[in-house]
Structure 1
Amino acid sequence: MQHRMKVVVADDHPVILLGAEQALMKFPDVEVVARAGQSTELIKVLQTVPADVLVTDLAMPGGQYGDGLPLISYILRHFSGLRIVVLTMLENAALLKRLGEIGVIAVVNKSDDLAHIGLAVRHVMRDLPYASPSVRASLATLRMNAGGKTDEVILSRRELEVVRLFVSGMTVKEISTQLNRSIKTISTQKNMAMRKLGLERDSELLQYAQGNGLMNLSSGGRERQTAPE
């Protein structure tokens, strides 16, 4: 009898959780063995339930282990034999690129047909990359905007500090007051960070910060995407 791939599904939206599970049930070689709604529950499941693949939402706040890239990095470090398929609504190309840089080879956008989840599971079990159509389009846009360059994005400490405060809800004027820098300097640092990340709109910056876990970090915390000033 053919081995069925054991899959854990994690998402903080019950409707998406159910939809992903139903989509996977259409693949006879896939078996959903557990579900989770946030990171605390997810890590407990992974510690107790044998699984081949994790299909997980990227933005899944509320748990002890956070969400976004910090959670994915934690799972990659502590569950080395587990394959990961990221399921997300975020379309920011820089964020998708970061997922690839930390070791995620399969990403499915929730706006695409959910059948792509099962296809992604089959691919990662063979150690092959997979991207659903919307994800491929976003990555293609990033390559075009970058002129083919693939260098990792490095933000200075001050740029990252400004980004964190901005996505926390502060205005450029409020940030300038708190950091004791001119409004022009803060605006320049914010715009420089966005250019480095390939972002054009504030909404894209919020998406990027959400996916990278920057929303959950204090302005004094450390982030590995920084460089000396």
Structure 2
Amino acid sequence: MQDVVKVVIADDHPVILFGAEQALLKFPGIQVVARARQSTELIKVLQTAACDVLVTDLAMPGGQYGDGLPLVGYLRRNFPNLPIVVLTMLENAALLQRLRELGVTSVVNKSDDLSHIGLAVQHVSRHLEYLSPSVKASLDALRMNSGGKSDEVMLSRRELEVVRLFVSGMTIKEISEQLNRSIKTISTQKNTAMRKLGIDRDSELFQYAQSNGLLNLSSHSAEDTGDLV
């Protein structure tokens, strides 16, 4: 008899939480054992409930342990043997690549059919990778644009510094004055960072920075992280 895969679901949107659970109910051998709405609830559940696979939203603000990549990093450090399926609406290829670098082998875009959540759980419970169609397409595009070199996504320390200051609310001119670099240099470093990340609009840059935890970095911690993304 096949072992039951015990799943914990975390998402701050009740509709997504309900939809994900209903989608998983259609898969024999998968049992939803607990739900969480933010990271505080999630960590408490994981510390007390038997769980084989975690299905978690990427953007889930309001909890003690944050969300986005910082939360994923915390989970990987404290629950290293727990397979994670990440749910996200983000399609930025560099962010998806960063998730994989953190050890997340399964990512499902919420715009894809919810049945992919169950397929992802089945795969990661067997130590296999699973990417929903939208995610796979984004990563394929990243590989094509960078010639197959994932290191093309890495931001230099100076580019990271400019991005961090820009998303903190500073203008290009203000960043130029603070870092004692020309406006042209700052603008070039910002544009280069956006090109590497596959980002076209400032709004996407803010979204990316939030998911990476860059909005919470001090100037000293930014220097210490080096090529963070």
Give the structure-2-normalised TM-score. 0.91
| Partner residue, 1:141 | 141
Structure 1 segments, 4+ long, off by >4 Å, are: none
Where does the alignment leave 5 or more consecutive residues of structure 2 unmatched? none
Greater fraction of residues in helix: 2
Matched residues in 2 for 1:190 and 1:132: separation? 31
Aligned partner letter, 1:93 = A
Matches within 5 A, 1:120-199: 120-151=120-151, 153-199=153-199
| Partner residue, 1:109 | 109
| Partner residue, 1:219 | 219
Distance 1:72 1:202, change over 3 A: same
**Deviation of residue 188 (structure 1)?**
1.6
| Partner residue, 2:79 | 79
Where does the alignment leave 5 or more consecutive residues of structure 1 unmatched? none
Q: Contact 1:154–1:225 at 8 Å: present in 2 too?
A: no
| Partner residue, 2:209 | 209
Aligned partner letter, 1:75 = L
3-state DSSP of counterpart to 1:9: strand
**Deviation of residue 35 (structure 1)?**
0.8
Distance 1:30 1:227, change over 3 A: closer
Q: Contact 2:89–2:109 at 8 Å: present in 1 too?
A: yes
Cα RMSD, aligned residues only: 2.0
1:193-214 CA deviation, whole Å, 9 max, x = no partner? 2233233332332232122121
3-state DSSP of counterpart to 1:27: coil
Aligned partner letter, 1:198 = G
Aligned partner letter, 1:60 = M
| Partner residue, 2:58 | 58
| Partner residue, 1:47 | 47
Matched residues in 2 for 1:28 and 1:44: separation? 27
**Deviation of residue 181 (structure 1)?**
3.2
Matched residues in 1 for 2:161 and 2:139: separation? 26
Give the structure-1-normalised TM-score. 0.91
Q: Contact 1:154–1:226 at 8 Å: present in 2 too?
A: no
Q: Report how many residues are paired.
A: 228
Matched residues in 2 for 1:193 and 1:104: separation? 24
Asked whether 1:36 is paired with 2:36, we answer yes
3-state DSSP of counterpart to 1:3: coil
Aligned partner letter, 2:70 = P
Return 168-177 or 45-54, whichever deviates more.
168-177
Asked whether 1:96 is paired with 2:81, we answer no
Matched residues in 2 for 1:150 and 1:161: separation? 21
Matched residues in 2 for 1:22 and 1:152: separation? 39
Q: Contact 1:153–1:225 at 8 Å: present in 2 too?
A: no
Matched residues in 2 for 1:207 and 1:175: separation? 20
1:70-111 CA deviation, whole Å, 9 max, x = no partner? 111111111122110000000000111111111110000000
Asked whether 1:2 is paired with 2:28, we answer no
**Deviation of residue 155 (structure 1)?**
2.2
